[in-house]
Amino acid sequence: MRFCPYAHRVHLVLDAKKIPYHAIYINLRQKPEWFPLVSSSTKVPALELVKEPGKPVLIESLIICDYLDERFPEVPLYPKDLLKKAQEKILIERFEQFISDFYNLVLHKNPEQLVDIDHYAGLVAYEEELKQRGTKFFGGDNPGMLDYMMWPWCERFAAMKFSFDEKFELSRERFPTLIKWRDLMLQDRAVKCFYLDGQTHAKYMDSRRSGNADYNMLYNEAKRVKLG
Amino acid sequence: MRFCPYAHRVHLVLDAKKIPYHAIYINLRQKPEWFPLVSSSTKVPALELVKEPGKPVLIESLIICDYLDERFPEVPLYPKDLLKKAQEKILIERFEQFISDFYNLVLHKNPEQLVDIDHYAGLVAYEEELKQRGTKFFGGDNPGMLDYMMWPWCERFAAMKFSFDEKFELSRERFPTLIKWRDLMLQDRAVKCFYLDGQTHAKYMDSRRSGNADYNMLYNEAKRVKLG
């Protein structure tokens, strides 16, 4: 399926590094018969390395992205300094807490009940961090691993006003640095390669919240030759 | 506290690489006032890099261990081949599922109720993997990152007969390769540096299961000068 944010992470890294690849989207509820034969797990993303002997398959978005970064070092996505690299990984790991809060909101049957909860509290540290760095992106002049690992969920913020209400959108007053960052990310080549607008994300999210996720949405578009 | 298996991972890597360090054990229920000032999180392990400017603190056992492996490459713990390294990381990540099953057993108020559940199912893949590799350790002739990342929980298997019953112990018939591996691991220098016997682990686990974890157990021993 086209909407998995963890798979989105891998697409971003592949596109940032201009690594050629072929994407196959599957229905997660009715997995194709070949999938368990190819993947070492039931999860997506799964990256089959077709040029390696035995065509091994990697899983886990962060492990795949770290592998791609080491294997294709021409466009490095981590800081060279090992300590800074570790600190970047901690920020990526901590983002999982925000992801979990985000899904609590997005998949809630009645998000109006959640209006008093601060769903974006987990982003405050990232607003502060980027403000302190004073750079365009977390990665500096260009997006780095942290930028790309956060992006799939940040792209989906634009869906909130379609799915729910404008008050669930990211606040311009509270997150001025992240809003600027989002606008810059939207201009990034790798982000553009896999970008979907808020309305499209909302349509998928709505189908998921209704308990009948439309995993085939954009199936035909996915079959088109990739131009990015 | 001396018993955190995630902190145990970091001790193993520090000792395997013979990196000098000073350990401070805290009571996780009543954290010392200085802890939040030093650590960027409420979690252990937290590794303060006292020789780096600003004394930064790293968290998350796997991030810390990967950092140490890159920063002190003299005793490399991952395979050189990047694909094999990624596959090793997948096996480390998957072990979390077994860890979760293990705690469901160990912290259950009445483990006798769980006798029909296969708590060790998650280890079958590791038994097979090591058998296929045909090496002493997952890392080859010496323990590697996967060996050390699994070890803290494997050391604790020896507690089962004291806490519960022999039938909860790792089966010699089912896991002959892992039993051989465990005996070899027990002879490893880094493992010896931080080793505790089954009875001691059982005593702590019992205190935890009773809802009153004895975080101060071995506090005085911890203060002794480290001889390893």
Question: DSSP for B87-105?
Answer: HHHHHHHHHHHHHHHHHHH
Residue A87 and residue A191 in one domain:
yes
Q: At what angle do helices B176-185 and B145-155 cross, to 10 degrees?
A: 100
| Closest CA in chain A for residue B65 | A86
Same domain, B36 and B126: no
If one counts the domains in chain A, the total is 2
Could you tell me which residue, A165 or B145, shows the higher pLDDT? B145
Residue B144 shares a structural domain with residue B190: yes
For residues A139 and A58, membership in a common domain is answered with no
Least confident range of A16-30, B4-18, B184-198: A16-30
Q: What local confidence, expressed as pLDDT, does residue A81 receive?
A: 97
ipTM over 0.85: yes
Using an 8 Å CB-CB cutoff, list chain A residues near B122.
none
Q: How many helices (H) and strands (E) does chain B have?
A: 11, 2
Q: Using the beta-carbon criterion (under 8 Å), do A56 and B93 form an inter-chain contact?
A: no
Quick check: A117 pLDDT over 70?
yes
Q: What is the mean pLDDT of chain B?
A: 91
| B204 or B109, greater pLDDT | B204
pLDDT (average), residues B33-51: 88
The verdict on residue B175 lying in a domain is yes
Model confidence at B226: pLDDT above 80? no
Q: What is the mean pLDDT of residues A218-222?
A: 66
Q: Which of B145, B141, B15 is nearest to B86 (CA)?
A: B145
Range of the domain at B114: 82-206
Contact B67 A85 (CB under 8 A): yes
- pLDDT over 70 percentage in chain B: 96
Is the Cβ pair A67, B52 closer than 8 Å? no
Q: Is the pLDDT of residue A225 over 60?
A: no
Enter the tokens of residue B156.
Answer: 């604790």
B4 classed as catalytic? yes
| pLDDT score for B104 | 87
Residue contact B40–A90, C-beta within 8 A? yes
Whether A61 and A87 map to the same domain: the answer is no
pLDDT for res A224 = 52
B interface mutation test: which of A63, A66, A81, A96 has the most B CBs within 10 A?
Answer: A63
- The per-residue pLDDT for B29 is 84
Report the pLDDT value the prediction gives residue B30, as an integer from 0 to 100: 86
